[in-house]
């Protein structure tokens, strides 16, 4: 049940209780008024009867007109009182009727006594009559007193019973209603506490980062609605958090991909597409760094310009794909036979360049040249073909033949052309414009 | 869940209320069972509407309600009832104060327990030609039929004294009760002094009311419950008997029509006969000086008219058991 309905019902119950208390008080007041009225009236009746009694006694003593007038007045007074309509019940009404009858009896006795006042009779008979009347009056008054006692007793009994009934009834109704209101209020309190406790627990859980738990509720009141909304809110929050995480992962993935692509692009920009070794630009950039370093430390280095022999023939006869494979194989062989500090690059076609860093002695260059020529000349097996190529190598030395990559490459290129032009040599050191400094025989 | 709890609360309240009612009912029943006594009490009652409380109590079960097993012995007139009591044929008897008065001169082994009904208009002077005697002076030389030594004679004498006509010459013709009306009808008497239902019976013969004067209030007839002083019925049972009579009286007050119907059936009389004098009756339990005074006045008359020996002085206090009714009244008032 909705809390507002609960509170409304509590308010209605309280209103009913207030109404009942009010009505009961009014009823109690009415009952009391009725009882007071009856008791007052009984008292007045008692007074009238006493007054009649004393007047009757006086009338017996002084049987004259004045006494009779007084007696008549008293009697009329009593009759008038008896005719008043008070809220009597059946039994009380019967008592009032009897009192009326007795009052009439008094009247009859007075009338009878008066009927012969002027008659001459002897004293003895008068005395007997007076005695008889006296006894009769006394009897009637005695009965009146007795009836008054009964009236009092009955009035008190009724008042008692009425008050008791009212007390029980009101008490019972109040007890039932107050119990009901108390139980109902406690139920509402318990519901409030439970609801607020659940909500508080839920919020504490959320505050501590728990997004999975939910508030359990079974009612359909406002607190349950609140709990339900809270659960929905938590659900939405969970979804938002999940989205954020996955978004972050996606961003990371994409970033990684971009980096990879970037690396690939850099690689592609710096390396020869076919062989994977440095291309001209990257090679120049690399040897520029090496030159700067070597110049700082006064080290020597050599640049080899390698141009393959008999390659064009292979290319023309076996096709470009075989030619490409030959180029790749040679690039791998060169790469595999150089130091970590050495650099190899392909300038295009069948032209390779090698940077031999940190050369201590010129002899080291020769040995290296020999080694490289040997591996170039080793047969290459591609499919059914066993191919062989040779090479012409031009060599330039840092700092002897130049201080820049351009000068060194140019010098080595020149030396390579010289070596190629002379079929007897396989490599040639740059010797300036005036000739070749060193020659190697084939 | 809330609805179920609410239902549960209401059920608990209902059950507790039911328990209260059942326990109250049970305790009431157990109280009533406590004093159950099946030893019968016999009461000689006169076949007259004046004995109404007894017939009503029997019919409505008020005796049983008060744990009494009462057997009513119905006799014609209070004298026979009183004799049955004296002969120990019954435990209690109902009789008029006149019977009590006359018997008090002979014995004091009985006591009046309570007066339960009164009439201020039971005995009347009746005539077939009531108009002739509207002035009481006109009864001079009239033949008046009376039952000797009874309320009939006492009534006539007190009436003559009160109207100051005792000196008038009248002819008293003493007759048994059942001869009064035939004597009147056969013109053997002019007037009869008689109690109900003779007034009603006579009214059936003439078109007007047979009373020669309105004598209401001049004579009070009472019917009383009388028991022997030495009786096997204990005080509690006597109190229970008074309670049953009182219950019947309350019933007569609160259900007058039903009460008359029961009485009409019990006495086998027509409702019109019952109605004729019903309003003259005052049913209530009492034992006041009014009755004492009435009996004393009658005893004085009995002495004066030499119906009893003059030398016998009776102390009527000996035959009044006021204590029992006082105890009963106190119990009823809760004192």
User: In this predicted model, what pLDDT tens digit does every residue of A384-414 receive, in sequence order?
Assistant: 889 889 999 999 998 888 899 999 999 999 9
| pTM of the predicted model as reported, rounded to 2 decimal places | 0.65
| Boundary (domain end) residue, out of A154, A184, A214 | A184
Would A322 be classed as within a structural domain?
yes
Q: Does the pLDDT value for residue A362 go beyond 60?
A: yes
Average pLDDT for chain A:
87
Q: Does the pLDDT value for residue A382 go beyond 60?
A: yes
Q: Which residues are within 8 A (CB) of A251 and not within 5 positions of it... i.e. 6 or more apart?
A: none
**How many other CB atoms are there within 10 angstroms of residue B1's CB atom?**
10
Nearest to A119 among B13, B164, B334 (CB): B164
Helix (H) or strand (E) holding A391: strand A390-398
More confident site: B334 or B112: B112
Helix (H) or strand (E) holding B174: strand B171-174
B164/A121 CB distance under 8 A: yes
Q: Is A429 helix (H, G, I), strand (E, B) or coil?
A: strand
Q: How confident is the model at residue A122 (pLDDT cuts 50, 70, 90)?
A: low
| Average pLDDT for A277-302 | 91
Could you tell me which CATH number the domain at B35-119+224-333 has?
Answer: 3.40.190.10
Would A194 be classed as within a structural domain?
no
pLDDT tens-digit readout, B308-329: 887 777 888 888 998 999 999 8
| Boundary (domain end) residue, out of A141, A166, A184 | A184
Q: What is d(CA A148, CA A151) in angstroms, rounded to the nearest whole number?
A: 5
Please give the full DSSP string across B209-271, using - where no structure is assigned.
Answer: --BSS--TTT--EEEEEEEESS-SS-HHHHHHHHHHHHHHHHHHHH-HHHHHHHHHHHHT--H
Q: What is d(CA A94, CA A117) in angstroms, rounded to the nearest whole number?
A: 35
- Whether A284 and A159 map to the same domain: the answer is no
- pLDDT at residue number A440: 43
Helix (H) or strand (E) holding A345: strand A343-348
Q: What is d(CA B228, CA A285) in angstroms, rounded to the nearest whole number?
A: 156
Return the closest-CA partner of residue A419 out of A395, A387, A400, A386: A395
Residue B226 contacts residue B113 (beta carbons within 8 Å): yes
Would A265 be classed as within a structural domain?
no
- Domain of A348, CATH number, reads 3.30.70.270
- pLDDT at residue number A288: 92
| Boundary (domain end) residue, out of A184, A206, A229 | A184
The two beta strands, B40-46 and B92-96, are: parallel
- pLDDT at residue number B23: 46
Q: Kindly state the percentage of chain B with pLDDT values over 70.
A: 89
- pLDDT at residue number B262: 94
- pLDDT at residue number A156: 85
Q: Does the pLDDT value for residue B11 go beyond 70?
A: no
pLDDT tens-digit readout, B163-186: 888 888 889 999 988 888 999 889
More confident site: A362 or A55: A55
Would A325 be classed as within a structural domain?
yes
The yes/no answer to whether this complex scores an ipTM above 0.90 is: no
- Domain of A135, CATH number, reads 1.20.1440.210
Q: Does the pLDDT value for residue B16 go beyond 60?
A: no
Q: Is B146 helix (H, G, I), strand (E, B) or coil?
A: strand
Q: Does the pLDDT value for residue A437 go beyond 80?
A: no
B253/A94 CB distance under 8 A: yes
Nearest to A146 among B164, B286, B334 (CB): B286
Q: Which domain holds residue A349?
A: 272-441
Q: What is d(CA A52, CA A260) in angstroms, rounded to the nearest whole number?
A: 134
| Average pLDDT for A290-316 | 91
pLDDT tens-digit readout, A38-65: 888 888 999 999 999 898 888 888 877 8
- pLDDT at residue number B38: 66
Tokens 């002695």: give the residue. A361
A153/B332 CB distance under 8 A: yes
Q: What is d(CA A317, CA B299) in angstroms, rounded to the nearest whole number?
A: 182
Q: Kindly state the percentage of chain A with pLDDT values over 90.
A: 29
- pLDDT at residue number A157: 84
* Ranges of each domain in chain B: 1-33, 35-119+224-333, 123-203
CATH class of the B123-203 domain in this structure: alpha beta
Pick among A136, A150, A218, A220 to test the B interface (most B CBs inside 10 A): A136
Q: How confident is the model at residue B66 (pLDDT cuts 50, 70, 90)?
A: very high
Residue B327 contacts residue B239 (beta carbons within 8 Å): yes
What helix, strand, coil percent values describe chain B, rounded to 5?
A: 50, 20, 30
Q: How confident is the model at residue A121 (pLDDT cuts 50, 70, 90)?
A: low
Tell me, what DSSP letter sits at residue B319? G
Q: Does the pLDDT value for residue B112 go beyond 90?
A: yes
Strand ranges of the sheet holding B40-46, from the earlier edge strand across to the other edge: B69-75, B40-46, B92-96, B221-228, B110-119, B281-286
- Whether A156 and A281 map to the same domain: the answer is no
Report chain B residues touching chain A, CB-CB < 8 A: 1-3, 5, 9, 13, 17, 118, 120, 158, 161-167, 214-218, 220, 250, 253-254, 282, 284, 286, 288-290, 293-294, 296-297, 304, 329, 332-334
Tokens 């009010």: give the residue. A22
Would A205 be classed as within a structural domain?
no
- Whether A145 and A281 map to the same domain: the answer is no
Average pLDDT for chain B:
85
B329/A132 CB distance under 8 A: no
Cα atoms found within 13 Å of the Cα of residue A325, Cβ hemisphere only: 14
Q: How many domains does chain A have?
A: 2
- Whether A284 and A142 map to the same domain: the answer is no
């Amino acid at each position: 049940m909705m809390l507002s309905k609960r509170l409304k019902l509590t308010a209605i119950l309280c209103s009913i209780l207030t109404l009942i208390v009010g009505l009961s008080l009014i009823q109690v007041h009415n009952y009391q008024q009725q009882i007071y009225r009856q008791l007052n009236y009984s008292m007045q009746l008692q007074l009238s009867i006493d007054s009649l009694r004393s007047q009757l006694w006086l009338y017996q003593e002084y049987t004259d007109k004045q006494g009779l007038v007084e007696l008549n007045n008293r009697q009329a007074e009593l009759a008038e009182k008896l005719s008043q309509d008070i809220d009597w019940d059946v039994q009380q009404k019967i008592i009032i009727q009897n009192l009326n009858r007795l009052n009439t009896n008094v009247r009859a006795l007075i009338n009878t006594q008066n009927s012969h006042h002027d008659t001459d009779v002897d004293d003895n008979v008068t005395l007997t009559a007076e005695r008889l009347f006296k006894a009769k009056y006394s009897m009637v008054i005695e009965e009146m007193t007795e009836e008054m006692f009964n009236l009092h007793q009955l009035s008190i009994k009724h008042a008692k019973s009425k008050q008791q009934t009212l007390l029980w009834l009101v008490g019972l109704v109040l007890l039932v209603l107050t119990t009901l209101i108390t139980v109902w209020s406690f139920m509402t309190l318990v519901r409030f506490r439970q609801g607020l406790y659940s909500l508080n627990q839920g919020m504490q859980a959320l505050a501590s980062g728990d997004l999975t738990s939910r508030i359990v509720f079974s009612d359909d009141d406002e607190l349950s609605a609140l709990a339900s909304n809270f659960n929905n809110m938590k659900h939405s929050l969970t979804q938002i958090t999940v989205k954020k995480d996955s978004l972050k992962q996606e961003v990371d993935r994409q970033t990684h991909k971009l980096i990879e692509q970037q690396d690939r692009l850099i690689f592609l920009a710096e390396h020869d597409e076919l062989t994977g070794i440095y291309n001209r630009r990257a090679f120049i950039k690399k040897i520029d760094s090496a030159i700067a370093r070597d110049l700082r430390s006064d080290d020597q280095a050599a640049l080899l310009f390698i141009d393959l022999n008999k390659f064009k023939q292979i290319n023309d006869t076996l096709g470009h794909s075989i030619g490409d494979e030959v180029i790749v194989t040679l690039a791998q062989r060169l790469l595999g036979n150089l130091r970590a500090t050495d650099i190899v690059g392909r300038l295009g076609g069948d032209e390779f360049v090698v940077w031999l860093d940190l050369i201590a002695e010129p002899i080291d260059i020769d040995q290296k040249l020999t080694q490289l020529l040997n591996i170039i000349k080793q047969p290459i097996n591609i499919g059914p073909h066993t191919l062989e190529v040779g090479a012409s190598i031009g060599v330039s030395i840092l700092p002897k033949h130049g201080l820049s990559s351009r000068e060194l490459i140019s010098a080595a290129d020149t030396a390579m052309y010289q070596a190629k032009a002379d079929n007897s040599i396989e490599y040639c050191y740059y010797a300036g414009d005036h000739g070749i400094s060193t020659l190697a025989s084939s | 869940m809330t609805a179920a709890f609410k239902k549960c609360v209401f059920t608990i309240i209902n059950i507790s209320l039911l328990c209260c009612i059942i326990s109250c009912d049970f305790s009431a029943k157990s109280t009533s069972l406590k004093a159950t006594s099946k030893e019968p009490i016999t009461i000689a009652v006169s076949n007259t509407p004046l004995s109404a409380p007894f017939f009503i109590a029997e019919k409505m079960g008020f005796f049983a309600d008060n744990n009494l097993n009462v057997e009513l012995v119905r006799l014609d007139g209070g004298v026979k009832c009183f004799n049955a009591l004296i002969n120990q044929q019954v435990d209690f008897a109902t009789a008029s104060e006149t019977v009590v008065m006359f018997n008090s001169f002979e014995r004091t082994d009985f006591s009046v327990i309570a007066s339960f009904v009164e009439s201020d208009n039971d005995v009347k002077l009746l005539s077939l030609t009531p108009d002739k005697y509207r002035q009481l002076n006109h009864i001079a030389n009239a033949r008046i039929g009376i039952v000797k030594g009874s309320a009939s004679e006492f009534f006539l004498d007190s009436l003559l004294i009160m109207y100051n006509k005792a000196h008038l010459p009248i002819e008293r013709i003493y007759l048994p009760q059942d001869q009064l009306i035939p004597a009147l009808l056969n013109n053997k008497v002019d007037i009869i002094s008689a109690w109900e239902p003779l007034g009603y019976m006579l009214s059936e013969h003439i078109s007007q009311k047979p009373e020669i004067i309105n004598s209401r209030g001049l004579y009070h007839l009472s019917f009383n419950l009388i028991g022997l002083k030495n009786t096997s019925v204990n005080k509690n049972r006597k109190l229970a008997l008074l309670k049953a009579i009182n219950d019947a009286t309350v019933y007569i007050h609160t259900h007058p029509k039903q009460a008359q119907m029961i009485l009409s059936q019990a006495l086998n009389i027509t409702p019109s006969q019952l109605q004729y004098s019903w309003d003259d009756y005052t049913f209530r339990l009492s034992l006041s000086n009014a009755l004492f005074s009435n009996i004393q006045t009658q005893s004085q008359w009995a002495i004066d008219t030499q119906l009893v020996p003059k030398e016998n002085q009776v102390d009527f206090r000996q035959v009044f058991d006021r204590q029992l009714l006082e105890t009963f009244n106190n119990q009823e008032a809760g004192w």
